[in-house]
Amino acid sequence: MNVKPYLQIPIQDCGEPLVPIDCPLVQLTLPPPYQQLGADYGGQSPYVLRSGVLAALSQAQSALSQEKPGWKLRIFDAYRPVAAQQFMVDYTFRQILERDGLDPSALGAAQREEILAEVYTIWALPSLDPLTPPPHSTGAAVDLTLTDEADQVVEMGGEIDELSPRSRPDYYDQSADPKASLFRANRELLNRVMTGAGFLRHPGEWWHFSLGDQLWAWQMKERYPRENFRARYGRAE
């Protein structure tokens, strides 16, 4: 299994606490999707973020409100302890088995690794090593989408957590889909308001943004290779 390159970024945690997502206008998906599936959050709400990340989220919502009055950020998931990360990895593994009609007891080692490789296209490794925390376990990552002035979820051309090429942020750039321009514009809007507040989007997921974790620091270093970026948020458990 390939180790994701951002896990090599050093962490110097700034010690900010996890705080509830209570930004004006920002919506929460209720009930929390992964808790509904059975993920164990250890009594913690998934709707918490590091205080500095929450401030940036509020800034992103303000920018969205200015550009699209009545539109809101809708949070799908934010903080995720490693136990919840492991649950979702296992859940997705089972989904693939069901989708492909595979018997888990008949899987060979190579086939299992192939399935795990697909799982890890959208899920980070549920590592308990404090040097390599999953992004959501830091309280610095958030999965989200947009709602319009009628509180309807905006069309993005793909679902959150979809195991499909459509999850790539740039999928519709060269698409012949008649709605491609709409999907592209909505994805660009989400990206614009989030990056304007300091977040960076996951290279393979239109819905995932982070600020201050290893993935964010790695992306910043890719953009500014002469700078020595460190993650300022480690695992928040």
> In this predicted structure, what is the pLDDT of residue 115?
95
Q: Which of 205, 222, 227, 237 is catalytic?
A: 205
205 among known catalytic residues = yes
> In this predicted structure, what is the pLDDT of residue 234?
97
Question: From 3.40.50.150, 3.30.1380.10, 3.40.190.10, 2.40.30.170, which CATH number describes the 5-223 domain?
Answer: 3.30.1380.10
> In this predicted structure, what is the pLDDT of residue 1?
52
Return the domain boundaries, the chain: 5-223
Angstrom distance (rounded) from CA 199 to CA 211: 5
> In this predicted structure, what is the pLDDT of residue 3?
73
pLDDT means over runs of 10, the chain (237 residues): 84 97 95 96 96 98 98 98 97 96 92 95 95 97 98 97 96 92 97 98 98 98 93 93
